[in-house]
Structure 1
Amino acid sequence: MVLALVAVSAVAVALLVRVLLLKYESSDWHYFLDPWYRYIKAQGGFHALGDIGFADYNVPYLYLMAALGYLPVPALAAVKCLSVLFDLALAYYTHRIVSPRWPHRPWRPLAAAVTVLFLPTVVTNSGWWAQADAIFTVFLLGGVHHLLRDRPWWSCAFFGTALAFKLQAVFLFPLLLVVVLCGRVPWRSLLAVPAAYLALDVPALLLGADPWPLLTVYARQTGTYQDLTLNAPSVYQFVSVPAGEEGPVRRAGVLAAGVLVLVLTGLVVRAVRRTEGAAEAEAEGGGGGRAGLTGTGILLAATVFAIAVPFLLPSMHERYFYAADVLSVLVAFRLPRQLWYLPVLVQLSSFGSYLKFIAPGVAPYLSMPAHGVLMLLALITVLRAAAREFGAARGPGGGTGAPADAR
């Protein structure tokens, strides 16, 4: 009863905070979201989606925007409230993912959910900015949730839906490669990713949309920005090149990110297979070895990718660490003694970068390179935790000295 009261009170306060932000209009609202909303409404709602050339988002978000146009609610409030609903969904999946770790301490999953709900970046992203990053991140968390419960088809379908909403969902896609190579997910389950993505294109096709623009929407997005960083706390805060000469650095950054993903994937798969081999040997010797990729390992790998990929890729916005913001809380509650400070590092870096955009008249409390250093420290922290998790496979005597936290 007390927990329920605390949960309801937390949700009420979280909604109140966001209500206080409803009146604020960002430049993204003026230049993108509001014109899209007005165009859709002027063209008859869903019928406007027969030609998607007016927007550079994929159609699933435009479906939601079209649906909002039928409600007797001001445009700005409607779009922000949509994102706020997904903030609540983020808290829900956070609770579901953390709960199995603390079956006899129900206040800890609740604390994790409340923490996510009040993260400065989460509050600002929806309540002030009217952005949709909570939407694709909800589906990523849903995919992780189903993955932890050995529902591979559901997991891949959620990942595909996340990708349909935002290209930035690909930051976590290396996790799918890890779980497939480790045998946690069968290869055929990956078919659910394109199936979910393409299924969400069908309504637009039925409304008359041209298939080619639908399938190439993300290819067009990737060429929109040429700057090495757009306020992102990434490695490019330490790189300076003359204007117009960013091309070679951009290509090198993409290559470096790809190589890092492959290296990290290979290291994780190798460690898991060694764990399995050690467990089999211990079982044959009468021991009780445990094998396979643990839930903690999955969350750590997800967090590593969510930080490392946007940290190395060029042309990232400050908002592109949104999934890392949320996942840092999940792993902190999974391994509180090791990672309690990880969300602090990520928020100092990520929200500090937000301030550069949302409050341009006020200098960030740290320089942008300093925000990059903080994110680098966060990456090193979670990499060390992952190394301990996967490196603890072989305990004394060849056992699988996996820590108690690795459930």
Structure 2
Amino acid sequence: MKKELALDKFIRNLIDKYLFEIAVGLLILISVFIRFKLAPNTELSPDYDFYYREWVEFYRQNGIIKGLSNAPGDYYVPFNVIYALSSLFPCEAWVPLSIVPGICELISAFFIYKIFYLLTGKKRCSVFIGVMTLYLPFVIFDGALWKQVDAVYTCFLVISIYKLLKQQYRASIVWYSVAFAFKLQSILFLPLYLIIYITGGFNGPADEEKELSERSAFSILEFLWIPVVYLIAGLPEVLAKHGLRATYFAYLEQTGELDSEGYGMVSFFPNIYNWGFDDHYKLLSTAAVMVLAAVLVVIAVFCYRFRERIDRNLVLYLAIWTSWTCVILLPGMHERYDYAMLILLTPFAIMVRKKIMPFMVVANICSLIVYGITLFGAKIIDISYISVFYVASYLFVTADIIGLLNGGNERSEA
């Protein structure tokens, strides 16, 4: 038998001891390489040439202070600061605008690992599932190809959910407030916090049980962090003399664009408004918001009625379900607005609630088809048909979580 070389022996020992760590490292590097290859393409993005590149060029021509005083676009201040800082780099605008979401995707992956390690105690599976979120098509396409920034506010949302599951309510609300200051779509998760407040917290694991008074230490005053952080986030433009109204009313102006720019009831998002209701925004938009409010009230009452059954797993399930409810019923939803919901639903179905895996897969396929339509022009299926499958998946998940809350005997773990 031939003697094994010392180098080969060293490599084999390294593989024996650290195969999992090596695999994780390689998977992360491959995900970075995929983004590196896709990022230079700016032709597929429907927004890069008309908005993002122009905004960066605006700051290059005017400087950061003058640029912020006349901030272009309709984003709130934190994103305008990102575009302003991107103008400082001597490269094409797509470079920093691809790096920023890429970094936030990695942060989200890390905290998804922490969330599912907290829920399941399975460290390696949780690490793997966190890394796998880097390979979800909508995650890759949104940042690398579209140059969108959904990954930025989502990473703060994921951190806030992790802190919430740890029952660190103040920290959770503060991180949520940061997410809200970055993007209005964070409001899709606000119903979760209201429900948790109304129910007086939730049940922790048996080895972490606390007195009811301690578990209920989620004061309504914590919600004041949302306007406080929002006001602080606007200071760069206020100090640059952009004006109080122009700065702090940014979100109000964004909601007005749904009508003024002709988006209608829905914009390439597979919800119920694709079934013949899209062109009736003025007639239906207010009613749609009121219907959502009524549904959320019913959800809150239902959760309060069965509050003793809410544990960590159900808190995360409620986060997914309530935000999914919002995108199904709210008017003016765009193709990317379920980004945060899907990035939580996917690992949750795999790690915790395997029963809903088929519906998670359908939701991801619907998302992939929609990105194919908006980025690649691949109109192989009409959006109204996609909506049937997407809404059906939501309804099955709705039935499942209602059964969990109402049944009591079936645990929320797989």
Common fold, TM-score beyond 0.5? yes
C-alpha distance in structure 2 between counterparts of 1:9 and 1:370, whole Å = 38
C-alpha deviation, 1:107, in angstroms: 2.3
Question: Alignment partner of 1:42: what SS?
Answer: helix
The residue number in structure 2 matching 1:234 is 271
C-alpha distance in structure 1 between counterparts of 2:116 and 2:194, whole Å = 23
Identity of matched residues, %: 21
C-alpha distance in structure 2 between counterparts of 1:30 and 1:225, whole Å = 21
Aligned to 2:402, which of 362, 365, 387? 387
Root-mean-square deviation (CA, aligned residues, Å) is: 1.8
C-alpha distance in structure 2 between counterparts of 1:239 and 1:267, whole Å = 31
Task: Decide which moves more: 35-44 or 69-78.
Answer: 69-78
Task: Decide which moves more: 209-218 or 245-254.
Answer: 245-254
The residue number in structure 1 matching 2:5 is none
Aligned to 2:139, which of 118, 122, 132? 122
Question: Alignment partner of 1:331: what SS?
Answer: helix
Seen in structure 2, the aligned counterparts of structure 1 residues 387 and 96 have a Cα distance that, compared at 3 Å, is same
Structure 1 letter corresponding to 2:268: N
Q: 5 Å matches for 1:4-403? A: 4-25=21-42, 26-52=45-71, 54-103=72-121, 105-184=122-201, 185-226=218-259, 227-240=264-277, 245-272=280-307, 275=308, 293-360=310-377, 362-364=378-380, 366-393=381-408, 401=409, 403=411
Aligned residue pair count: 375
C-alpha distance in structure 2 between counterparts of 1:101 and 1:300, whole Å = 12
Q: Taking structure 2 as the reference length, what is the TM-score of the superposition?
A: 0.86
C-alpha distance in structure 2 between counterparts of 1:259 and 1:387, whole Å = 17
- 8 A Cα contact 1:90 1:137, kept in partner: yes
C-alpha distance in structure 2 between counterparts of 1:10 and 1:197, whole Å = 37
- 8 A Cα contact 1:350 1:371, kept in partner: no
Structure 1 letter corresponding to 2:47: D
C-alpha distance in structure 1 between counterparts of 2:190 and 2:115, whole Å = 18
Q: Structure 2: which 5+ residue stretches go unaligned?
A: 1-17, 202-217
Aligned to 1:405, which of 398, 405, 413? 413
Task: Decide which moves more: 170-179 or 248-257.
Answer: 248-257
C-alpha deviation, 1:4, in angstroms: 2.0
- 8 A Cα contact 1:108 1:333, kept in partner: no
Seen in structure 2, the aligned counterparts of structure 1 residues 202 and 350 have a Cα distance that, compared at 3 Å, is same
- 8 A Cα contact 1:46 1:63, kept in partner: no
Task: Decide which moves more: 299-308 or 62-71.
Answer: 62-71
Task: Write the deviation string for residues 377-396 of structure 1: whole angstroms up to 9, x where unpaired.
Answer: 22123213312331233xxx
C-alpha distance in structure 2 between counterparts of 1:359 and 1:39, whole Å = 28
- 8 A Cα contact 1:232 1:316, kept in partner: yes
C-alpha distance in structure 2 between counterparts of 1:91 and 1:72, whole Å = 29
C-alpha distance in structure 1 between counterparts of 2:243 and 2:83, whole Å = 20
Task: Write the deviation string for residues 42-86 of structure 1: whole angstroms up to 9, x where unpaired.
Answer: 11124411232x210001011122222222332111111111111
- 8 A Cα contact 2:156 2:175, kept in partner: yes
- 8 A Cα contact 2:314 2:412, kept in partner: no
Question: Alignment partner of 1:320: what SS?
Answer: coil
- 8 A Cα contact 1:296 1:405, kept in partner: yes
Question: Alignment partner of 1:24: what SS?
Answer: coil
Task: Write the deviation string for residues 325-379 of structure 1: whole angstroms up to 9, x where unpaired.
Answer: 112123213424322233312111122112221122x223x32122111221221
C-alpha distance in structure 2 between counterparts of 1:191 and 1:10, whole Å = 41
C-alpha distance in structure 1 between counterparts of 2:188 and 2:148, whole Å = 18
Task: Write the deviation string for residues 120-170 of structure 1: whole angstroms up to 9, x where unpaired.
Answer: 000000010000001111111111110011111111111111111111111
C-alpha distance in structure 2 between counterparts of 1:73 and 1:265, whole Å = 49
Question: Alignment partner of 1:341: what SS?
Answer: helix
Structure 2 letter corresponding to 1:331: F
Task: Decide which moves more: 225-234 or 174-183.
Answer: 225-234
C-alpha distance in structure 2 between counterparts of 1:222 and 1:328, whole Å = 27
Structure 2 letter corresponding to 1:254: V
Q: Taking structure 1 as the reference length, what is the TM-score of the superposition?
A: 0.88
